[in-house]
């Protein structure tokens, strides 16, 4: 019980980062009904973008975030126009195989450009910490949490109050009705795909000063993000946010209270995914996916 306050703090900070990691994936599926299996590579390119801007231009990862998001959004635009748009009405297995292949291509492009060496971004706050009320607070994780929550709230507000955001919601709810109302459905698909890629890159930028950066980091992150999206209910942004904190608390609890839990914690996402698929296949706040 003496570890409880520290456990709650660590789980909360991790949950905020998981929100940003998975909300873009949930948005993409909620609108296009396509699971973007290249989302992990968008996160990876975001981390590398923050690394390059920090090393070569001395730009802090937080300040470089808009540039990184814009650059990766353009990559998302190219992936959509060249690949995704051609399989919008194809069977799901074709879409999955295509985007899985795109992810492998992007991963190998990163290997050719950056090699397989591990990189990292060092800032004044990345390793700094202090003690408050008996809890050790890592400034890097606290800043990443604030960025994640800020961007997630910004996405929700944009979807609710902007004309384009409401159009995207209309397409997500009923594509055919949205088309009858004059909404360009394909354009909304493209915008949601680009926004999803930008959110992924923001996750990478926020992780760049917390984790080592490699071309292969995306797949592991994708698995965890996919588990969160399934747990929350495919296509449900609200459910994804709940699931992100649930998974963070479960993982942190295993790490804290299970013997040698640090090694087991990484497998929690897959265990939770398996239980959800068996007990509640539509997740916490699942929505229909028939349109």
- Considering the chain, what percentage of its residues have pLDDT values greater than 90? 54
Q: State the Cα–Cα distance between residues 121 and 50, nearest whole angstrom.
A: 8
Q: What is the pLDDT of residue 158?
A: 94
Q: Residue 210: pLDDT above 50?
A: yes
The average pLDDT across 44-70 equals: 94
Percentage of the residues of the chain whose pLDDT score is greater than 70? 95
- Please compute the mean of the pLDDT values over residues 274-289 and round it to a whole number: 69
Confidence class of residue 261 from pLDDT cuts 50, 70 and 90? low
For residues 177-187, average pLDDT = 91
Sign of the C-alpha dihedral computed for residues 139, 257, 244 and 85 taken in this order: positive
Residue 61 to residues 93, 116, 208, 215, 240, Cα–Cα distance (Å): 37, 21, 7, 18, 26
Distance between first and last Cα of the chain = 48
Q: For residues 138-162, give the mean pLDDT.
A: 93
pLDDT score for 198:
95
Residue 282 CA to residue 288 CA, distance in Å, equals 9
For residue 91, count CB atoms less than 10 angstroms from its CB and return exposed for 0-12, middle for 13-18, buried for 19 or more: exposed
Measure Cα distances from 31 to 42, 62, 80, 100 in Å: 18, 29, 13, 19
Q: In this structure, what token pair is assigned to residue 115?
A: 């090699």
**Contacts for 267 with CB less than 8 Å, ≥ 6 apart:** none
Residue 135: strand, helix, or coil? strand
CB 131 within 8 A of CB 137: yes
Per-residue DSSP letter, 85: G
Mean per-residue pLDDT for 148-160? 94
> Collapsing DSSP states into helix, strand and coil, what is residue 222?
helix
Mean pLDDT of the region 43-47: 95
Residue pair 111/92 in contact (Cβ under 8 Å)? The answer is no
pLDDT at residue 267, rounded to an integer: 77
CA distance 240 to 196: 14
Mean pLDDT of the region 186-191: 95
The residue ranking higher by pLDDT, 279 or 262, is: 279
Task: Give this prediction's pTM.
Answer: 0.90
Both structure tokens of 173? 């709810």
Q: What is the mean pLDDT of residues 90-117?
A: 92
The C-alpha atoms of residue 77 and residue 224 are separated, in whole angstroms, by: 24
Structure tokens at 249: 């608390």
Q: Please, what is the average pLDDT of the chain?
A: 88
């Amino acid at each position: 019980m003496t570890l409880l306050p520290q456990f709650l703090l660590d789980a909360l900070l991790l949950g905020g980062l998981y929100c940003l990691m998975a909300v873009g994936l949930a948005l993409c599926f909620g609108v296009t009904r396509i699971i973007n299996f290249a989302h992990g590579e968008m996160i990876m390119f975001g981390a590398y973008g923050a690394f390059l801007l920090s090393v070569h231009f001395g730009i802090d990862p937080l300040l470089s975030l808009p540039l990184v998001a814009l650059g990766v959004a353009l990559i998302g635009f190219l992936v959509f126009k060249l690949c995704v748009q051609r399989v919008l009405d194809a069977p799901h297995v074709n879409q999955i195989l295509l985007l899985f292949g795109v992810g492998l291509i992007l991963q190998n492009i990163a290997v050719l450009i950056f090699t397989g060496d591990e990189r990292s971004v060092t800032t004044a706050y990345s390793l700094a910490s202090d003690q408050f009320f008996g809890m050790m607070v890592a400034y890097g994780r606290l800043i990443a949490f604030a960025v994640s929550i800020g961007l997630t709230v910004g996405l929700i507000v944009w979807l609710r109050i902007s004309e384009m955001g409401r159009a995207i919601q209309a397409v997500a709810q009923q594509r055919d009705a949205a088309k009858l109302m004059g909404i360009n459905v394909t354009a909304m698909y493209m915008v949601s795909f680009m926004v999803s890629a930008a959110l992924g890159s923001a996750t990478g930028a926020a992780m760049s000063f917390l984790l080592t950066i490699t071309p292969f980091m995306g797949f592991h992150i994708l698995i965890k993000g996919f588990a969160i999206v399934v747990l929350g209910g495919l296509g449900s942004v609200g459910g994804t946010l709940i699931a992100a904190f649930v998974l963070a608390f479960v993982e942190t609890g295993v790490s804290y209270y299970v013997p040698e839990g640090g090694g087991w914690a990484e497998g929690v996402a897959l265990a939770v995914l398996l239980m959800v698929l068996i007990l509640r296949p539509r997740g916490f706040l699942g929505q229909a996916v028939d349109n």
